[in-house]
Structure 1
């Protein structure tokens, strides 16, 4: 558990709970309750401060997600080999230049992989990625002109997917290497949407790693660089630009900058109004519902739990929908706010909805497990069928 990890690291550094709390700038009660197992969750910003005070990466505190969903991790060695293969081949002169290049088929395969990512089916995507990376890399090396432009764009997208899968499995260094390679591939394209998308993913990886200031700077700069003229912008341009703003707002919220977070989402809302509906492009996901959900997520990150629940009550449930993983992330944030407010039944409902929307994805999120543990401690086993179902689904035995 998180509390156990904190206690082990704190003792190894010869710190008392009071000293850790003072160094991290958090309440000693938070430290005490986490270590005692009274609390199983905390705001990401709080965990980031504790990690900094303990001079460790946040991932050291948050047990790798593969502990809870080990099956897709079998594909990590193959994904790692595919990501690093270009360098290995170049050093050894082993590059394969005989394989056929079929860009239409490759493009369709990448589109299919993108849809799998949005569903949160990481076990499937983990098996597909090694071959996709190899084929996209080969196409980028053996084509020219317009074909090379498309090949580089596809390669950037495949590396973005690799970054997403590996960071979800706790392989942060491999995720960052993938994000860097996506940026490098995108820079070979004249298409500004492809370039902006690669920065979006890099900023998201930084945010997942707890590097909020850097994530905010990268996403904000890219949003400024790629800001379109609203009256003339294509839907693709609006989608990736809006995604950058939402990404930056999330980093600002986790960095305890509520005014900045609200400002960025307010600007994003103008682009969402222009779109009128939520879009799922190869490059990004964005639209009115996503922006509304982001206000709820950010309020939870900032500790404004009443505000998060209040905002959720005004979400339009009749409008367009976002992909399952995005919907589930919003529901997890709402469940966290409800749990903090002692609205246990509502929190169980939100968690159950997240599970129904994307059953595999929820297993990768420590927050889902922690909230379920907290609610189980309050309600008790055998007293709420939906909570018992969640406990079984997340393979919680303690």
Structure 2
């Protein structure tokens, strides 16, 4: 990448962001012809202000456009930067080390150590420490792949496959947060195959959930809906004996993800049916738990009910749902879930035109889990919307947050 002309770099990152030339041009306030000429090298980019604007639209560090090493700034140390994304990509691309057929099996850490490392990675993700996670993920992927290759059969082989399947899911979730949807889909898809070798239907169900989330982010909404609903139907507990807490949790989360896909296409009837099904599963579960890292339970159902209302454009219903959530149960949720909810409710308030309350929600989310607000492209869109709708000078706290996020006031 370093040796490419800047126009080619612009084209590369535009492609990575799944933007057409027209969409990219619209966001820059330029013509499609201007973008085409820049990317072909016919028009020079000789103004730094324009280069910085392009980097902002592409959500990358300007140094990457200039072909220089990225300087990691302290204020973004808990986000996943493009250098770390490329390191994760490189770990996912090591096909030669995924099988002993192609490469001597590297020395793998003991499975007891791997279990601790994977558990810590899940907690790091669920506490929205994305920068910390990103710096550990490449090595964790390599270690998990090595452990999977080192154990050919028996119980240890299933354990190693189970751990690798989890690491792929962690990578998928983290990559989706920062807009790397294709990589997120790849990691989730890998997890499905590995989960089959692990012999764990519920792990495969969670892998399907990650695939559905990646497809949803890629705009493949009907595919996301079908994946989640079809797999939910296959693992639905048909008897009281089958209704284990783990199965109820995975089943319920698949229904909730399906509801989010249905909301994206405006199918309110399907949203209602799927959320009701998840509500029944949560009732049978009897509380909020974190089986299979789902954070599933009655409170998470309400969080998804509010999020689905936002996707349907009904900010009022989202706010009503938010206001009736039990504060004590909400406070017990993990930071990523709560901050994500505050972001959803901020979107709901912007739909109602209440930028003051939307700002409050963004600031609440930032206090709770800064990376969930500062690192996500969606949050950048929301705070940009808040700034556009604010009359006069925005309040100091929201202006400061916007500056730290790199969003122009």
Same fold (TM over 0.5): yes
2:296 aligned residue (275, 286, 301): 286
Residue aligning to 2:206? 197
Query: Which runs of no fewer than 5 residues in structure 1 stay unpaired?
Result: 15-59
In 2, are the aligned partners of 1:240 and 1:283 still within 8 Å (CA)?
no
CA distance in 2, matches of 1:100, 1:383: 53
Residue aligning to 1:35? none
**CA distance 1:71–1:218, change in 2 (3 Å):** closer
CA distance in 2, matches of 1:64, 1:371: 16
Residue aligning to 1:216? 225
CA distance in 2, matches of 1:230, 1:13: 61
Tell me the SS of whatever aligns to 2:81.
Answer: helix
* Normalised TM-score (structure 2): 0.78
After superposition, what is the alpha-carbon deviation per residue over 1:58-87, rounded to whole angstroms, capped at 9, x for unaligned? xx9x95554596753222222122112134
In 2, are the aligned partners of 1:89 and 1:95 still within 8 Å (CA)?
no
After superposition, what is the alpha-carbon deviation per residue over 1:125-157, rounded to whole angstroms, capped at 9, x for unaligned? 111111111111121122221111111111001
Q: Structure 1 residue 169: deviation in Å? A: 3.0
Residue aligning to 1:303? 313
Q: Which has the higher contact order (CA 8 A, sep 6+)?
A: 1
Residue aligning to 1:180? 189
Q: Structure 1 residue 11: deviation in Å? A: 5.2
Whether 1:314 aligns to 2:324 is yes
1:5 aligned residue (18, 24, 34): 24
Residue-pair matches, total: 350
CA distance in 1, matches of 2:139, 2:380: 32
Residue aligning to 1:253? 263
After superposition, what is the alpha-carbon deviation per residue over 1:179-212, rounded to whole angstroms, capped at 9, x for unaligned? 1111110011222211111111111111111111
Tell me the SS of whatever aligns to 1:285.
Answer: coil
In 1, are the aligned partners of 2:128 and 2:335 still within 8 Å (CA)?
yes
**CA distance 1:335–1:157, change in 2 (3 Å):** same
- Runs of 4 or more consecutive aligned structure 1 residues displaced over 6 Å after TM superposition: none
* Normalised TM-score (structure 1): 0.80
Whether 1:169 aligns to 2:188 is no
In 1, are the aligned partners of 2:108 and 2:146 still within 8 Å (CA)?
no
Residue aligning to 1:396? 407
Residues 1-398 of structure 1 aligned to structure 2 (within 5 Å)? 5=24, 7=26, 12=32, 63-66=57-60, 72-87=81-96, 93-97=102-106, 99-143=107-151, 144-229=153-238, 231-232=240-241, 233-319=243-329, 321-380=332-391, 382=393, 384-398=395-409
Tell me the SS of whatever aligns to 2:353.
Answer: coil
In 2, are the aligned partners of 1:72 and 1:122 still within 8 Å (CA)?
no
CA distance in 2, matches of 1:378, 1:273: 40
In 1, are the aligned partners of 2:213 and 2:257 still within 8 Å (CA)?
yes
CA distance in 2, matches of 1:322, 1:249: 21
**CA distance 1:285–1:110, change in 2 (3 Å):** same
